[in-house]
Amino acid sequence: MPLSRSIFVIPLILFGLNAIISEVIGGWTKKYTSPAAWTMGLPDMRGKVAIVTGANAGIGYITALELAKAGAHVVVASRSSAKGQEAVRKIKEATTTSETEANVQFIPLDLSSFRSIENFAKQFQALGKDLHLLVLNAGIMKSPGRQWVGQELFYGFGTTSEGFENHIGINHIGHAYLTNLLMSNLKDTSAKQPQDDGSRYGVRIISVSSLAEMGAPESGMLFEDWMPADGAMPESYEDGRMYGQSKLANCMYAAKLAEVLEGTGVSVYSLHPGVIASKLGDDLGAEMSRQAAEQGIVAEVVSKIFGSCFASTMMDVPTGALTQIHLATAETASLVNGGFYHPIGKHATPSHPMSGDENLKEKLWVETQKAIEMGRLKWM
């Protein structure tokens, strides 16, 4: 068995066990069995404008759908034009009535390309609209690279147009650059709002992280791995570790951004949406079972028991979207600015021991801005 596969399976199992324990104790799936009923209580979002990245599918699509149902003007941002336009069509079909027509549109966004990010920001700003909600939902948990499972799933090394490792480049740096470009829109919108007494709604940035942040390196960040030399895969490269690092960056950067924006009326939150049933999860489970079978009958039996327990705690997609919908619509006074949230809408603490390290948080901020500048200079 290739060593990189073995290394990945161990933290994946630990991640799954942690998720199972958390779900059983928290009663996530037992308590929230009707997302449709839960979202009926959303506030009136008419007059609000929201951008949701990765809104063509999954929890991003559900988030865009529910915000549109509540009356918000929603911008669906996704890499695939066909999928983005189809999401817009479905949202309009689900929300348009004889009295009102849904305000939803598509603008292409490829977070692996600074040029695409810049074009997205220009197209949005050309609309002349305010921006009340920026939901940073898009992300990858796989990179184009070596074949790993079946005929469709590829999981390995790849780089963005600017040369960043794909997980950190798309999940973190791309979103950070997009946020920088739209910051004036967010601040200007906040300045127009009535003084928020904490009972209603403010301008917000919401970053979708993951419980997988605990899979980041022991030091938290390996900044030297962000931009591999000559775009070549380092010998020590481990895709699962890079994914964990990108998710830790999401929540730590959100906490730092909240500090930077203090006093502007723009608040920032991050979240773990839950362990959500998906095709990717099925494929990962199949690979774990195959590897366990290679290790012998005991490992295979343990893997099957674990797989059964893991599957029983998974959320469906509508339930998985509830935490970010909550952060997008809850009263300001009920939320902790810069906070990290677990399902469903519960303030929590990231699992990685370095997540609260102030020095690392500051260094992450500095290195992210440096990375953005390096990416920009590539095209000048």
Residue entry with tokens 């009923």 = 37
Domains in the chain, ordered, with CATH? Answer: 1-31+278-311 (no CATH), 42-276+314-377 (3.40.50.720)
Residue 206, CA distances (Å) to 103, 127, 143, 175 in order? 21, 22, 24, 11
Contact 56, 83 (CB under 8 A): yes
Is the pLDDT confidence value at 285 over 70?
no
For residue 177, indicate whether it is catalytic.
no
| Catalytic-labelled residue, pool 243, 253, 269, 341 | 243
| pLDDT in the model for residue 347 | 97
Average pLDDT in the chain = 83
pLDDT, one tens digit per residue, over 319-374 is 999 999 999 999 988 999 999 999 999 999 999 999 999 999 999 999 999 999 99
> What average pLDDT does this structure show over 57-72?
96
User: Phi then psi for 143, rounded to 5 degrees?
Assistant: -130, 150
pLDDT, one tens digit per residue, over 254-278 is 999 999 999 999 999 999 999 887 6
- In 6-119 the beta strands, taken as DSSP E runs, fall at 49-53, 73-78, 104-108
Tokens found for residue 254: 């959100």
CA dist 67 and 206 (Å) reads: 14
State which H helix or E strand residue 271 sits in. strand 266-271
Is the pLDDT confidence value at 8 over 90?
no
DSSP-based three-state secondary structure for 95: helix
- Residues whose CB is less than 8 angstroms from the CB of residue 89 and which lie 6 or more positions away in sequence, other chains included: none
